[in-house]
Amino acid sequence: MLHPLPFQNRRAAASAAGLLVLAALGSNAPAHAASYGTPTISLSASYLSGAVGATGDPVVTVTVAQSGADATALTVAASASSKSSVAGTSDVAVTGTGATRQVAVAAHARGYTDLTIKVTGLGGKTASKVLHYAASAAVLDAAGTRYPTGSSDASAAVDVGDGYAVVADDESNTLRLYNLAVSGAPVRTWDVASKLGVSKEIDIEGAARVGNTVYWTGSLGNNKDGEYKADRNTVFTTSVTGSGATTQLTVGGKYSKLRDDLVAWDEDNGDRFGFAAGTEDGEAPKQIDGFNVEALEFAPGSTSTAYLGFRAPLVPPESGGKALVVPVTNFDKVAGSGAKAVFGTPIQLDLGGLAIRDIRKNSADQYLIVAGSWEADDNADPYALYSWDGVAGHAPVERAALPTTDPGGWEAVVAVPDLTSAGTRAQVITDAGAADLYGDGTEAKDLDHAEWKKSRATWFTVGG
């Protein structure tokens, strides 16, 4: 027969057992503390670019976890800044709960800072990652400005709906899909080099869309050192499927002799524009009598005749000269299936002594022209937006002077609104490749990290 212990003896036994458990676990921590692991933290990008006074700047996604703990119990905050004058810890905002958080930074000044992002878990355990942050200076209309990142040399843009656009870069052969309602990295990219059989940059400068086909052209000119590079003499097509965020591109046809056709046509017609001289070895393209194509758009009501807009030459090649447009009457077959180009009557436009940097039209055949200097210095000369009806002999009308106080040259119109409606706006993108964005003397195109490279997209009133 079992005999129960007296009450006092049972208390003593229980106390002894408790001491044995504490001794086994360690007397300096609660029994449950040993079950928590060291937290983990990862950043969706280690490099981030912002701008002073910006709205809708890019954010970084932070993913955190800790074994033995619910992610909602973890805290995330900036714990240190290497240069608080650019952005301090109090300028870092963390939103969200659970395993995924969003980190946004509000910059005070242009420059760089390393921000330490720390996760604190249960049991007081921590982990951290460094976010390398770069801030560009405040710009005019900062609230209406967005920054597509990953590239600084935007050169042409094609609207694909819902605020998205495919943007070309004249320093690479990569096409990028952006949501231009916000700042940040491309949603999707396509490197077209291998499909087109090119190894050097095409120097993509112009684009035009007809239905689900986008036509693209290189500059067709020499490089800046006056050397002929065959890959710049390329026009090609891409087919579009989907729209907005679901847009996909497939490379189609190409042609590699449009420059040759243009030179031969000009020589056959009395060498009116000096194309042969402008393409000679040693001739830089961005001269008043040079040879450089920067715009492409189709003629009113046509799906075959396309306008090539020239940055150089002016006609005549002197101060106050007119901008040149050359129609290619079978451009659909040139770019689509490699047919030899056929040319129409050239058009000269009075843009106040400026040349053509882009041409874009809407479904009503209302055109916007980005007019800028033929020179390579993008920030010292004026820019303007002109409307036009696409008809030879009809004069373009200035709609807006574009500001030149901020870095980058105005390069591409995304889409043309109804120009007869008062207050309608067009979004225009800069090529900021030559800009010193962060005050360290480095041109944007030469920055070490793609996330710090960016162009600038701003809205301008053009309607009415």
pLDDT over 90 (residue 53): yes
Record the pTM.
0.91
Residue with the larger pLDDT of the pair 324 and 20: 324
Give pLDDT tens digits for 419-454.
Answer: 999 999 999 999 999 999 999 999 999 999 999 999
Alpha-carbon span 381 to 311, nearest angstrom: 14
Query: Mean pLDDT throughout 209-227?
Result: 98
Give pLDDT tens digits for 83-124.
Answer: 999 999 999 999 999 999 999 999 999 999 999 999 999 999
Q: Which residues, in sequence order, are bridge partners of residue 306? A: 298, 328
Domain boundaries, the chain: 36-136, 142-461
Of 305, 313, 307, the closest CA to residue 276 belongs to 313
What pLDDT is stored for residue 333 in this prediction?
98
What pLDDT is stored for residue 26 in this prediction?
40
pLDDT over 50 (residue 14): no
What pLDDT is stored for residue 378 in this prediction?
64
Alpha-carbon span 122 to 175, nearest angstrom: 45
Query: Mean pLDDT throughout 26-33?
Result: 44
Of 283, 354, 343, the closest CA to residue 315 belongs to 354
Peptide bond into 316 cis (omega under 30): yes
In the chain, the percentage of residues whose pLDDT exceeds 70 is 92
Q: Which residue has the tokens 């609104």?
A: 417
CB 355 within 8 A of CB 323: yes
CB 116 within 8 A of CB 80: yes
* Mean pLDDT (the chain, rounded): 93
CB 45 within 8 A of CB 53: no
Of 237, 216, 239, the closest CA to residue 293 belongs to 216
- At the topology level of CATH, where does 142-461 sit? Tachylectin-2; Chain A (2.115.10)
Query: Mean pLDDT throughout 15-24?
Result: 38
Strands 126-136 vs 47-51: parallel, antiparallel or unpaired? parallel
What pLDDT is stored for residue 24 in this prediction?
36
Which residues are CB-contacts of 272 (< 8 A; sequence separation ≥ 6)? 266, 346
What pLDDT is stored for residue 381 in this prediction?
83
pLDDT over 50 (residue 413): yes
CATH of domain 36-136: 2.60.40.1080
DSSP state of 75: E
Alpha-carbon span 66 to 58, nearest angstrom: 27
CB 252 within 8 A of CB 275: no
pLDDT over 90 (residue 136): yes
What pLDDT is stored for residue 15 in this prediction?
42
pLDDT over 70 (residue 22): no
Confidence of residue 238 (pLDDT cuts 50, 70, 90): very high
